[in-house]
Protein backbone atom coordinates (compact mmCIF):
# COMPACT_ATOMS: atom_id res chain seq x y z
CA UNK A 1 0.00 0.00 0.00
CA UNK A 2 1.44 3.36 -0.82
CA UNK A 3 2.43 5.68 2.00
CA UNK A 4 -0.09 8.44 1.08
CA UNK A 5 -2.95 6.04 1.43
CA UNK A 6 -2.00 5.35 5.03
CA UNK A 7 -1.55 9.00 5.97
CA UNK A 8 -5.09 10.18 4.97
CA UNK A 9 -6.98 7.79 7.34
CA UNK A 10 -4.72 8.78 10.18
CA UNK A 11 -5.48 12.50 9.60
CA UNK A 12 -9.22 11.83 9.54
CA UNK A 13 -8.99 9.85 12.78
CA UNK A 14 -7.03 12.62 14.48
CA UNK A 15 -9.60 15.22 13.38
CA UNK A 16 -12.44 13.14 14.77
CA UNK A 17 -10.68 12.72 18.11
CA UNK A 18 -10.06 16.50 18.30
CA UNK A 19 -13.74 17.29 17.74
CA UNK A 20 -14.75 14.86 20.49
CA UNK A 21 -12.28 16.35 22.94
CA UNK A 22 -13.53 19.90 22.22
CA UNK A 23 -17.12 18.84 22.80
CA UNK A 24 -16.24 17.18 26.10
CA UNK A 25 -14.26 20.23 27.19
CA UNK A 26 -17.13 22.56 26.38
CA UNK A 27 -19.54 20.44 28.36
CA UNK A 28 -17.20 20.33 31.29
CA UNK A 29 -16.82 24.14 31.27
CA UNK A 30 -20.65 24.94 31.47
CA UNK A 31 -21.49 26.11 35.07
CA UNK A 32 -24.02 24.33 37.18
CA UNK A 33 -27.29 26.47 37.46
CA UNK A 34 -28.27 27.75 40.93
CA UNK A 35 -31.30 26.15 42.53
CA UNK A 36 -34.62 28.12 42.09
CA UNK A 37 -36.09 29.46 45.33
CA UNK A 38 -39.79 28.75 45.96
CA UNK A 39 -42.14 31.82 45.40
CA UNK A 40 -42.77 33.99 48.44
CA UNK A 41 -46.31 35.46 48.86
CA UNK A 42 -46.28 39.27 49.11
CA UNK A 43 -48.40 40.58 51.99
CA UNK A 44 -51.50 42.56 50.93
CA UNK A 45 -50.22 45.68 52.61
CA UNK A 46 -47.05 45.59 50.49
CA UNK A 47 -48.88 45.08 47.14
CA UNK A 48 -49.45 48.33 45.18
CA UNK A 49 -52.43 46.76 43.47
CA UNK A 50 -54.05 46.04 46.81
CA UNK A 51 -54.05 49.75 47.59
CA UNK A 52 -56.61 50.37 44.76
CA UNK A 53 -59.94 49.00 45.93
CA UNK A 54 -62.10 47.70 43.10
CA UNK A 55 -65.83 48.43 43.76
CA UNK A 56 -68.27 45.66 43.14
CA UNK A 57 -70.56 46.44 40.16
CA UNK A 58 -74.20 47.25 40.92
CA UNK A 59 -77.26 47.18 38.67
CA UNK A 60 -78.18 50.85 39.37
CA UNK A 61 -76.01 53.68 40.68
CA UNK A 62 -76.82 54.82 44.21
CA UNK A 63 -79.00 57.95 44.27
CA UNK A 64 -78.36 60.90 46.52
CA UNK A 65 -80.84 61.36 49.33
CA UNK A 66 -82.49 64.82 49.09
CA UNK A 67 -84.30 66.32 52.01
CA UNK A 68 -87.57 67.95 50.76
CA UNK A 69 -87.84 71.70 51.25
CA UNK A 70 -90.95 72.99 52.92
CA UNK A 71 -93.14 75.11 50.59
CA UNK A 72 -95.28 77.91 51.92
CA UNK A 73 -98.98 77.32 51.32
CA UNK A 74 -100.07 80.83 52.25
CA UNK A 75 -102.29 82.63 49.73
CA UNK A 76 -100.76 85.56 47.77
CA UNK A 77 -101.74 89.00 48.93
CA UNK A 78 -104.59 90.20 46.67
CA UNK A 79 -104.21 93.52 44.88
CA UNK A 80 -106.79 96.00 46.20
CA UNK A 81 -109.45 97.05 43.70
CA UNK A 82 -108.96 100.53 42.29
CA UNK A 83 -111.37 102.37 39.98
CA UNK A 84 -108.58 104.29 38.26
CA UNK A 85 -106.76 101.09 37.32
CA UNK A 86 -110.02 99.40 36.35
CA UNK A 87 -110.68 102.08 33.69
CA UNK A 88 -107.51 101.24 31.80
CA UNK A 89 -108.12 97.51 32.13
CA UNK A 90 -111.65 97.77 30.75
CA UNK A 91 -110.48 99.85 27.80
CA UNK A 92 -106.73 100.59 27.49
CA UNK A 93 -107.04 101.66 23.86
CA UNK A 94 -108.07 100.57 20.41
CA UNK A 95 -107.34 97.01 19.36
CA UNK A 96 -108.53 93.47 19.84
CA UNK A 97 -110.46 92.78 23.02
CA UNK A 98 -108.45 90.57 25.38
CA UNK A 99 -109.21 88.37 28.37
CA UNK A 100 -108.00 91.26 30.52
CA UNK A 101 -111.09 93.26 29.51
CA UNK A 102 -113.47 90.53 30.62
CA UNK A 103 -111.55 90.06 33.89
CA UNK A 104 -111.79 93.79 34.57
CA UNK A 105 -115.54 93.82 33.87
CA UNK A 106 -115.97 90.99 36.36
CA UNK A 107 -113.97 92.95 38.97
CA UNK A 108 -116.24 95.97 38.44
CA UNK A 109 -119.32 93.80 38.87
CA UNK A 110 -118.04 92.03 41.99
CA UNK A 111 -117.14 95.36 43.62
CA UNK A 112 -120.43 97.00 42.61
CA UNK A 113 -118.46 100.04 41.42
CA UNK A 114 -121.09 102.50 40.18
CA UNK A 115 -118.43 105.10 39.40
CA UNK A 116 -117.53 102.90 36.43
CA UNK A 117 -120.94 103.40 34.80
CA UNK A 118 -119.75 106.38 32.66
CA UNK A 119 -116.59 104.44 31.77
CA UNK A 120 -118.50 101.37 30.61
CA UNK A 121 -120.90 103.47 28.54
CA UNK A 122 -118.05 105.44 26.95
CA UNK A 123 -115.93 102.37 26.18
CA UNK A 124 -118.91 100.38 24.88
CA UNK A 125 -118.86 102.56 21.77
CA UNK A 126 -115.26 101.60 20.99
CA UNK A 127 -115.17 97.91 21.97
CA UNK A 128 -114.12 95.87 18.95
CA UNK A 129 -116.52 92.93 19.34
CA UNK A 130 -120.20 92.46 20.05
CA UNK A 131 -119.31 90.06 22.87
CA UNK A 132 -117.31 92.77 24.63
CA UNK A 133 -120.10 95.32 24.18
CA UNK A 134 -122.68 92.88 25.50
CA UNK A 135 -120.43 92.00 28.46
CA UNK A 136 -120.22 95.72 29.28
CA UNK A 137 -124.00 96.07 28.99
CA UNK A 138 -124.50 93.10 31.31
CA UNK A 139 -122.48 94.81 34.04
CA UNK A 140 -124.29 98.10 33.38
CA UNK A 141 -127.67 96.41 33.77
CA UNK A 142 -126.61 95.02 37.13
CA UNK A 143 -125.22 98.37 38.36
CA UNK A 144 -128.08 100.57 37.12
CA UNK A 145 -131.15 98.40 36.77
CA UNK A 146 -131.61 99.59 33.17
CA UNK A 147 -132.19 96.96 30.50
CA UNK A 148 -130.46 98.35 27.40
CA UNK A 149 -128.23 96.04 25.37
CA UNK A 150 -124.72 96.11 24.01
CA UNK A 151 -125.83 97.76 20.77
CA UNK A 152 -127.83 100.51 22.52
CA UNK A 153 -125.00 102.98 23.08
CA UNK A 154 -127.16 105.98 22.10
CA UNK A 155 -129.86 105.01 24.63
CA UNK A 156 -127.24 104.48 27.33
CA UNK A 157 -125.75 107.94 26.65
CA UNK A 158 -129.13 109.66 26.79
CA UNK A 159 -129.94 107.84 30.02
CA UNK A 160 -126.58 108.90 31.51
CA UNK A 161 -127.27 112.52 30.54
CA UNK A 162 -130.40 112.41 32.68
CA UNK A 163 -128.73 110.60 35.59
CA UNK A 164 -125.07 111.67 35.58
CA UNK A 165 -125.34 113.24 39.04
CA UNK A 166 -125.97 109.77 40.50
CA UNK A 167 -122.93 108.22 38.82
CA UNK A 168 -119.87 110.47 39.20
CA UNK A 169 -116.88 108.91 37.39
CA UNK A 170 -113.46 108.08 38.94
CA UNK A 171 -111.08 110.97 39.61
CA UNK A 172 -108.92 110.22 36.55
CA UNK A 173 -111.85 109.86 34.16
CA UNK A 174 -111.07 113.03 32.18
CA UNK A 175 -107.43 112.02 31.69
CA UNK A 176 -108.58 108.57 30.56
CA UNK A 177 -111.05 110.11 28.09
CA UNK A 178 -108.42 112.51 26.72
CA UNK A 179 -106.12 109.55 26.12
CA UNK A 180 -108.84 107.76 24.14
CA UNK A 181 -109.64 110.83 22.03
CA UNK A 182 -105.93 111.40 21.43
CA UNK A 183 -105.72 107.92 19.91
CA UNK A 184 -108.57 108.86 17.56
CA UNK A 185 -107.02 112.18 16.55
CA UNK A 186 -104.16 113.90 18.44
CA UNK A 187 -105.68 117.40 18.06
CA UNK A 188 -108.59 116.41 20.31
CA UNK A 189 -106.25 116.27 23.29
CA UNK A 190 -105.27 119.91 22.71
CA UNK A 191 -108.88 120.98 23.16
CA UNK A 192 -109.42 119.09 26.40
CA UNK A 193 -106.12 119.26 28.29
CA UNK A 194 -106.89 122.73 29.71
CA UNK A 195 -109.77 121.09 31.57
CA UNK A 196 -107.24 119.08 33.59
CA UNK A 197 -106.04 122.36 35.13
CA UNK A 198 -109.56 123.58 35.78
CA UNK A 199 -109.39 126.22 33.05
CA UNK A 200 -112.75 125.18 31.65
CA UNK A 201 -115.81 123.86 33.41
CA UNK A 202 -117.59 121.05 31.63
CA UNK A 203 -119.12 117.72 32.56
CA UNK A 204 -116.62 115.29 31.04
CA UNK A 205 -119.23 112.54 30.73
CA UNK A 206 -121.04 114.69 28.14
CA UNK A 207 -118.00 114.99 25.88
CA UNK A 208 -118.36 112.57 22.98
CA UNK A 209 -116.68 112.22 19.61
CA UNK A 210 -118.87 113.45 16.76
CA UNK A 211 -117.38 111.04 14.24
CA UNK A 212 -115.10 113.41 12.30
CA UNK A 213 -111.63 114.86 12.82
CA UNK A 214 -110.88 118.51 13.54
CA UNK A 215 -112.35 120.76 10.83
CA UNK A 216 -113.62 117.68 9.05
CA UNK A 217 -116.90 119.59 8.69
CA UNK A 218 -116.40 123.29 7.86
CA UNK A 219 -118.03 125.61 10.38
CA UNK A 220 -119.93 128.82 9.67
CA UNK A 221 -117.79 131.73 10.74
CA UNK A 222 -119.20 135.27 11.13
CA UNK A 223 -122.07 134.72 8.69
CA UNK A 224 -123.63 137.57 6.73
CA UNK A 225 -126.95 138.71 8.16
CA UNK A 226 -130.31 139.58 6.65
CA UNK A 227 -133.31 141.31 8.15
CA UNK A 228 -136.36 139.15 8.82
CA UNK A 229 -138.18 140.86 5.96
CA UNK A 230 -135.36 140.10 3.51
CA UNK A 231 -135.15 136.41 4.44
CA UNK A 232 -137.94 135.45 2.08
CA UNK A 233 -136.43 131.98 1.50
CA UNK A 234 -137.64 130.90 4.95
CA UNK A 235 -141.04 129.37 5.53
CA UNK A 236 -143.11 130.29 8.54
CA UNK A 237 -142.64 126.82 10.07
CA UNK A 238 -138.85 126.62 9.57
CA UNK A 239 -136.90 126.07 12.80
CA UNK A 240 -134.27 128.57 13.89
CA UNK A 241 -131.83 128.90 16.80
CA UNK A 242 -132.55 132.18 18.56
CA UNK A 243 -129.81 134.05 20.43
CA UNK A 244 -130.10 137.44 22.16
CA UNK A 245 -127.17 139.07 23.99
CA UNK A 246 -126.98 142.71 25.11
CA UNK A 247 -129.95 143.65 22.93
CA UNK A 248 -128.50 142.02 19.84
CA UNK A 249 -130.88 139.29 18.57
CA UNK A 250 -130.09 136.69 15.93
CA UNK A 251 -131.91 133.76 14.32
CA UNK A 252 -129.79 130.94 12.84
CA UNK A 253 -131.91 128.75 10.50
CA UNK A 254 -131.57 125.02 11.20
CA UNK A 255 -131.77 124.20 7.50
CA UNK A 256 -128.53 126.18 6.98
CA UNK A 257 -126.45 125.23 10.01
CA UNK A 258 -127.52 121.56 9.98
CA UNK A 259 -124.83 120.64 7.46
CA UNK A 260 -122.12 122.56 9.33
CA UNK A 261 -122.94 121.64 12.94
CA UNK A 262 -121.06 124.70 14.23
CA UNK A 263 -121.45 128.47 14.06
CA UNK A 264 -118.80 130.85 15.39
CA UNK A 265 -120.06 134.41 15.63
CA UNK A 266 -120.14 137.57 17.74
CA UNK A 267 -123.46 138.61 19.28
CA UNK A 268 -123.83 141.75 21.39
CA UNK A 269 -120.07 142.09 21.51
CA UNK A 270 -119.62 138.56 22.89
CA UNK A 271 -118.01 135.68 20.97
CA UNK A 272 -120.25 132.62 20.80
CA UNK A 273 -120.07 129.08 19.45
CA UNK A 274 -123.33 127.45 18.50
CA UNK A 275 -123.09 123.66 18.16
CA UNK A 276 -125.71 121.42 16.67
In a structure prediction context, what are the per-residue pLDDT tens digits for the chain, which is 276 residues long? 443 444 444 443 344 433 433 333 333 344 444 444 444 444 444 444 344 445 555 555 555 566 666 555 566 666 799 999 999 999 988 987 789 999 999 999 999 999 999 999 999 999 999 999 999 999 999 999 999 999 999 999 999 999 999 999 999 999 999 999 999 999 999 888 888 888 777 788 999 998 888 888 999 999 999 998 999 999 999 999 999 999 999 999 999 999 998 999 999 999 999 988
CB–CB of 207/155 below 8 Å?
A: no
pLDDT at position 198: 80
pLDDT at position 218: 92
pLDDT at position 16: 41
Rounded CA-CA distance 121/157 in Å is 7
pLDDT at position 57: 53
DSSP string, the chain: --HHHHHHHHHHHHHHHHHHHHHHHHHHHSPPPPPPPPP-PPPGGG-TTTTS--PPP-SSPPPPP-PPPP---PPPPPPPP-HHHHHHHH--SSS---HHHHHHHHHHHHHT-GGGHHHHHHHHTT-SSHHHHHHHHHHHHHHH-----TT-HHHHHHHHHHHGGGSPPPTTHHHHHHHHHHHH-THHHHHHHHHHTTSS---GGG----SS-TTSSPPEES-----TTT-TTS-TT--EEEEEETTEEEEEEHHHHTTT-EEEEEETTEEEEEE-
pLDDT at position 26: 36
* pTM, to two decimals: 0.61
Amino acid sequence: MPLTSRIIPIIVLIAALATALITIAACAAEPTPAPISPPVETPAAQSPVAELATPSPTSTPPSAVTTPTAVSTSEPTPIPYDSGSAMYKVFPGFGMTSARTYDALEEVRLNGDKSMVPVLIESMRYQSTLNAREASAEVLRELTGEQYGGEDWKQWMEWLGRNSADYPPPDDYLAWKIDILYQIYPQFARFLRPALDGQISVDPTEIVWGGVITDGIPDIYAPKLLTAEAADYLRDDDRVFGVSINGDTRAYPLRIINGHEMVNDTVGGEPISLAW
